[in-house]
Chains A and B, each alone.
Chain A
Amino acid sequence: MVSLSASLSQKRNYPISEEKVALRPRWRGRIVLTKDPDGGERCVGCYLCAAACPVDCIALQATEDENGRRYPEFFRINFSRCIFCGYCEEACPTYAIQLTPDFEMAEYRRQDLVYEKEDLLIDSQGKYPGYNFYKMAGLSAGVKEKGKGENEEAPVDIKSLLP
């Protein structure tokens, strides 16, 4: 019924070049890598986004700093292959990879659609403020000590027999 009335109503042209479309925050456009509240890279190089990607357009290599904190040595998205499905964002366990409502990415050369980490990383927490994976994770990677994370008890004293 709606479509019938729409097809009978008068046609109208929208001047899209001048008037920007208001896009919702969850609109799936250009992919970014965000930072945690402390300003550290959120990406821990777990490879789940790459595994979830149906067109295999994400490639990365995980590495560690001296504290054992994982981060991507390189992180590459080939946007000429990306279909903006958002599976990478869904797969990401640390809220690092997020899709933004920006779609104005046209380039004259296809090669310029290959984004490296420095092109992807933004200085913001994006849509999920306040989350810091390393405070939730059990291991200590320079963010918090063992037992100091959320929902953690102090490390076990293995010399003690007390219950």
Chain B
Amino acid sequence: MPRIYIDNVPFEVKAGRNLLEACLSLGIDLPYFCWHPAMGSIGACRQCAVKVFKDAEDTKGRIMMSCMESVKDDLRISVCDPGAKAFRAQVIEWLMTNHPHDCPVCDEGGSCHLQDVTVMTGHDYRRYQFKKRTYTNQYLGPLINHEMNRCIQCYRCVRFYRDYAGGKDLNVFSAHNHVYFGREKDGVLQSPFSGNLAEVCPTGVFTDKTLKEHYTRKWDLTNAPAICQHCSLGCNVIAGERYGQLRSIVNRYNSEVNGYFLCDKGRFGYEFVNSENRITQTLIRHRTAEAVDEPTLMSHLPNILIGHTVIGIGSPRASIENNYALMELAGRECFYQGLPDNQVFLEQKIVDILSAGAIHTPSLKEIEQADAVLILGEDIWNTAPVMALAVRQSVMKTAAAHVQEQVPLPGWHDAALKELAQESKGFLANMSVLSSPLDEIAACQAHGAPDDMARLGFQIAHLLNNTLPAVDNASAALLQDAHLISQQLLLARHPVIIAGTSAGSEALIRAAYDIAASLQSSERQAALAFVLPECNSMGLAMTGASSFEKALAIVQQNPDVTAVILENDLYRNMPADLVDSFFSKCRQVVVLDTLHNRTTEKADVLIPVATFAEGDGTFINNEGRAQRSYQVFMSPDKVLKEAFKWLFEMKVIRSAISNGHDVHPDEMLAGLERAYPQFKGIAAVVPPHEFRIHGARIPRESQRYSGRTAMQANKAVSEPKPLQDDDSPLSFTMEGYRGMPPAPLIPYFWAPGWNSGQAVNKYQQETGGALKGGDPGIRLFRDTGAQPAWFQDIPDAFTPRQGKWFLLPQYQLFGSGELSIYTKGIAALSAAPRAILSTRDAATLNMATGAAHYTVR
């Protein structure tokens, strides 16, 4: 490890980093703008200047940009040198000459990187008395607001949007001090990662438009660490509440999972929590007064729960605590997944493969570090966008790594590496039903029916491992693709194979497994990632419960069934006639859910439950990582509590055994671990609920939280008692421990001098590294080193059948989500429901281009 001297104090620093990273990792406050830990350095903003000295005798030194200098042994630098300080102050003063007098009306204010750095350098009074430059703004869609006057020309937005995320429609225009960051003309930003601009931009040029609708400063939010609910990746988010409404979602750094970035569905898809469609009242239907209070419900429940067969229908979007509570209520053998047979079968296959442990399943970070990626039949652009972003990084980083082999450039030297790499890319093969923007960076792409893609996969596996059978009657194109892909995969040291359930094909999963297992060798670390549909699909699948069809069979045999349905709109996943017949056969239907839907209409007893924002819950992501999402706020409506609390009370009613205590999520997880060994270790996912630091809780609110004695004064002038949280070490107040909390309990990123999200540097072991104390989450699948069990059953090539249609779902980032569609902006950007068919099929049906309506039977 090189030793460098910063202001004459020796420090051991990590080799291969630049001086800025070294200083920030050591906890030294050094201002910067254009450098980003995920995007490297370009030396554009001149803000991170330090003095570098030749040797111990050199007193004069020279000013250098710390982000553009590698650490070297015995390097002497000074951060506090008056010359360097004056330089930094001057740079910020220049940047501020054109910055508008906007802070009071700017959404960035209070979490602004530019404010942080301006204060840090000591520039507090404006000396420049001349006119300010102005720009006209653009309309960038319903999610992102544009206010170009505030720009300081750091280039972070285009570097993120174009270089990092592969977007095309945002660029820099014009010249000299007129440069303009925007689109060629007004219009919706096309990239599904555009929301990150709000966090990447160090000032308020790009801000969150959904937050603007109910604007709240960062310091006024009640925050909690939460888990994104919109896909199976389990991105870590910080959710913020004010006045009883969820107001914003920002990224919560987790080096293993989402890193610094979220997709737009995750960032903006939170408004379902505030929806008018929320279930707020407990209902017992078929009565004169259907809305009932809790005691009435509790006195009614024994009638339907005791003396009848109770079956439970679980949910892939409910937490594992909720699903487990239902399993406990109904009994293991009477718990069903609420998913169709084929989906349960696919997910079970994935769980079997991952729990066998012969093949490693990668985190998103490991996918970023892969040097060859094969996507087999999964449209990750739409079903797991942040994984698509990780795949893009793998392609770019592999190209940079090839360059570095020839020219010894450090990895952070972004502009130089890009210049050398030019258009070269790492290997990506994208096989999916329809094309996606990932095709642009793919060396090899093919689109076809799932069975044909699976055949390609099996042929690749055969080429990698000749003990596996070859594909019969393979087309020339298939053989050629298989040859190319297998050759490239063999060259890689960390190949990643990605498959999933969205194509509905088990053969794809088997083929992906065969390829990954064939690649695994002593010098090659292969990994196999699966994408599932919902945020807790993996958790539900790991229970091993049976499908909805099995539940239907039970109901058809037994006329006396009370079905308890947990957070699951059955009509979304199953054919309506099946679900209708299920409901018609059930004697009583109890539904616990958050939003009204077709299933809740069928409920005899409807119980409102908490969303992720109002309750605690643990979700298991696609790699089997259990992560806790904490309650953000408590609704003034007391009936709203987590489903597992309701289900626990129902269990008490059924078993008539109670110790009179409420149940904590910790106890649920401990019980789950005892009852189901496949969840071993999950109870340690977060510190226990009685965890305290020096006797204090961790506050959800900042020190600057305002309005405590006035917020509810219109209702009653005496302030209510602060809400209590018996389920977690977090408090609903501003009092508590102000130091560094354990990583799973970080409610928001803040450090003295760093009000913006850049404070995350202080929470990391090193910039861009793991959080202090290790990233949150526990992986439930362990690599066992077991011998792989090969699959050999190759499907036949897809052949169209006369008069029959082969239907496949096409997932849309905006539109397919059950919950995200409640965000107005996302709904506006969602395409209308549609069916796509090939031009050949359209011609045989005599369909004209542009024709809008066809009746489908």
Point out residues on A near B: beta carbons under 8 Å.
Answer: 44-48, 50-51, 53, 55-64, 70, 76-78, 80-81, 93-94, 110-111, 113-114, 116, 133, 136-139, 141, 146-147, 151-161, 163
Contact = CB atoms under 8 A, between A and B. Distances in A.
Nearest to A138: B100
Nearest to B178: A156
Interface in B117-160: 129-137, 147, 149-150
B481 to A, nearest CB: 45
B132 A116 contact: no
Given A61-B214, A76-B714, A111-B717, A50 B706 contact: yes
Contact of B713 (A47, A53, A59, A64): A59
B220 interface: yes
Given A152-B134, A156-B174, A161-B175, A57 B147 contact: no
Interface string B165-190: 00000000111101010000000000
Interface stretch (B67-75, B101-109, B500-508, B525-533): B101-109
B707 to A, nearest CB: 3
Contact of B136 (A48, A78, A146, A152): A146
A62 B104 CA distance: 11
A58 B713 contact: no
A151 B105 contact: no
B713 A138 contact: no
B215 interface: yes
A139 B102 contact: yes
The 10 A-B pairs with the shortest beta carbon distances in the complex, nearest first, are A138-B100, A59-B707, A46-B104, A50-B706, A59-B710, A56-B708, A138-B149, A158-B174, A78-B710, A78-B713
Given A61-B243, A158-B178, A137 B105 contact: yes
A138 B104 contact: no
Best-surrounded residue of B102, B136, B214, B219 (most CB of chain A within 10 A): B136
A48 B135 CA distance: 27
Given A55-B709, A59-B710, A78-B717, A70 B174 contact: no
Contacts of B713: 57, 59, 76, 78, 114
B134 A155 contact: yes
Interface of B: 99-105, 109-110, 129-137, 147, 149-150, 173-176, 178, 180, 212, 214-217, 219-220, 243, 704-711, 713-714, 716-718
Given A47-B217, A51-B217, A59-B713, A152 B101 contact: no
Contact of A151 (B104, B132, B174, B180): B132
A113 B710 contact: no
Contacts of B101: 136-138
A139 B149 contact: yes
Contacts of A141: 105
B706 A47 contact: yes
B130 A151 contact: yes
Contacts of B99: 138
Contacts of B717: 78, 80, 110-111, 113-114
A78 B173 CA distance: 50
Contacts of B706: 47, 50-51, 53, 56, 58-59
A111 B717 CA distance: 5
Given A48-B104, A50-B220, A70-B105, A138 B150 contact: yes
21 contacts: A47-B706, A50-B706, A50-B707, A53-B706, A56-B708, A57-B713, A59-B707, A64-B212, A78-B709, A93-B104, A138-B99, A138-B150, A139-B147, A139-B149, A151-B131, A151-B132, A152-B134, A153-B133, A153-B134, A156-B135, A160-B174
A84 to B, nearest CB: 15
A4 B101 CA distance: 52
B169 to A, nearest CB: 16
B709 A56 contact: yes
Best-surrounded residue of A77, A116, A147, A160 (most CB of chain B within 10 A): A147
A157 B136 CA distance: 9
Contact of A56 (B109, B135, B217, B707): B707
A145 to B, nearest CB: 9
Given A46-B105, A76-B711, A133-B104, 14 more contacts: A56-B707, A58-B710, A64-B212, A78-B713, A111-B717, A113-B717, A137-B100, A138-B147, A139-B105, A151-B131, A155-B136, A156-B134, A156-B174, A156-B180
Nearest to B179: A158
A111 B713 CA distance: 8
A106 B716 CA distance: 18
A47 B105 CA distance: 10
A35 B178 CA distance: 36
Contacts of A159: 174
Best-surrounded residue of B135, B220, B716, B717 (most CB of chain A within 10 A): B717
Nearest to B173: A158
Contact of B178 (A113, A136, A160): A160
A50 to B, nearest CB: 4
Contacts of A61: 214, 243
A55 B708 CA distance: 8
A62 B710 contact: no
A64 B209 CA distance: 12
Best-surrounded residue of B105, B174, B176, B215 (most CB of chain A within 10 A): B105
A163 B710 contact: no
A159 B178 CA distance: 10
Given A78-B709, A138-B134, A156-B134, A111 B149 contact: no
Contacts of A110: 717-718
A56 B176 CA distance: 47
A50 B217 CA distance: 11
A111 B716 contact: yes
Contacts of A55: 709
